[in-house]
Amino acid sequence: MNYTFQFGDVWAAWPALLWGTWLTIQLSASAMVLGLLVAVLGALGKTMGPKPVRWAVDAYVEVIRNTPFLVQLFLVFFGLPAIGLRMDSNQAALLAMVVNVGAYGTEIVRAGIENIHRGQIEAGLALGLRPLQVFRYIILFPALKIVYPAMCSQFILLMLSSSVVSTISAQELTATANDLQSRTFRSFEIYIVITAIYLVLSMAFYGAFAAIHRAVFAEPGQRR
């Protein structure tokens, strides 16, 4: 094999790669926050809602978990305009990512909620806590603490799957790499660098999630 690596064009495009990396971080972080909100609401509806709500949440979760993310993305970007809901590629990418991670997160948070013993809830009500306070302090917070590692892993997968949104020309790291490759034809070098960037992003998100865990869920003596 006589292949000469030439990274010059890649290094020359580092501002574009940094911008693409920043867009990926923005898109992923926004989807994580909104997806967590959807997951909490979905888990609440599935565990405490009336039967029609539980059925609707079940249908949502099953449809999303048993269909490819790429198809969901195309449905949002190409399908919704047919019924008058138009959005640009970045908005469509964010919506598709939130819907996707919300479904997986719903099942994760539900498992945490169902792990809370009924006696703890009854004790909170007996102490005079309002239902909202019971949900916040006795149900939601301990449940999130239980499922936090699983949610973090799901969020990392979400960040990595954000590369798929380049197929609808959403602006993020992979789209930047594709554009650079079409101009330089240095595919091997470009995607080696992109692979390294995604690896660094994954480690950075893991570090951020670990810091959040220490700040929010760890016992006072463990927050170091």
Task: Confirm if 182 and 9 have CB atoms less than 8 A apart.
Answer: no
Q: Which of 160, 56, 48, 142 is nearest to 101 (CA)?
A: 160
Pairwise CA distance, residues 42 & 15, whole Å: 40
Indicate the residue type of 98: V
Q: Is the pLDDT of residue 222 over 60?
A: no
Domain range enclosing 45: 26-174
In a domain, 110, yes or no: yes
Task: Give the least confident one: 100-109, 120-129, 156-165.
Answer: 120-129
In the block, residue with structure tokens 């819907």: 99
Tell me which residue has tokens 């989807």. Answer: 31
Rg (CA), the chain: 21
Q: Which amino acid, 45?
A: G
Does residue 8 fall inside a structural domain?
no
Residues 64-79, mean pLDDT to the nearest whole number? 95
- 136-165: average pLDDT: 91
Domain of 162, CATH number, reads 1.10.3720.10
The pTM of the full predicted model, rounded to 2 decimals, is 0.89
51 band by pLDDT with thresholds 50, 70 and 90: very high
DSSP letter string, 152-202:
HHHHHHHHHHGGGGGGGT--SHHHHHHHHHHHH--HHHHHHHHHHHHHHHH
Q: Are 141 and 49 in contact (CB under 8 A)?
A: no
Residue-wise pLDDT tens digits, 158-208: 999 999 999 998 989 999 999 998 888 888 899 999 999 999 999 999 999
pLDDT(99) > 70: yes
- 136 vs 52, higher pLDDT: 52
- Mean pLDDT within 202-223: 84
Task: Count the Cβ atoms, other than its own, within 10 Å of residue 222.
Answer: 9
CA distance 199 to 150: 19
Q: What percentage of residues in the chain have a pLDDT greater than 90?
A: 63
- Round to whole Å and give the CA distance between 96 and 80: 11
Structurally, the chain folds into a number of domains equal to: 1
210 in any annotated domain: no
Three-state secondary structure call for residue 2: coil
* 220 domain-assigned: no
Find the length of the chain. 224
Q: Is 61 a member of any domain?
A: yes
Dmax over Cα atoms in the chain, in whole Å?
76
| pLDDT exceeds cutoff 60 at 223 | no
| Residue 191 CA to its chain's centroid (Å) | 23
- For residue 49, the model assigns a pLDDT of 84
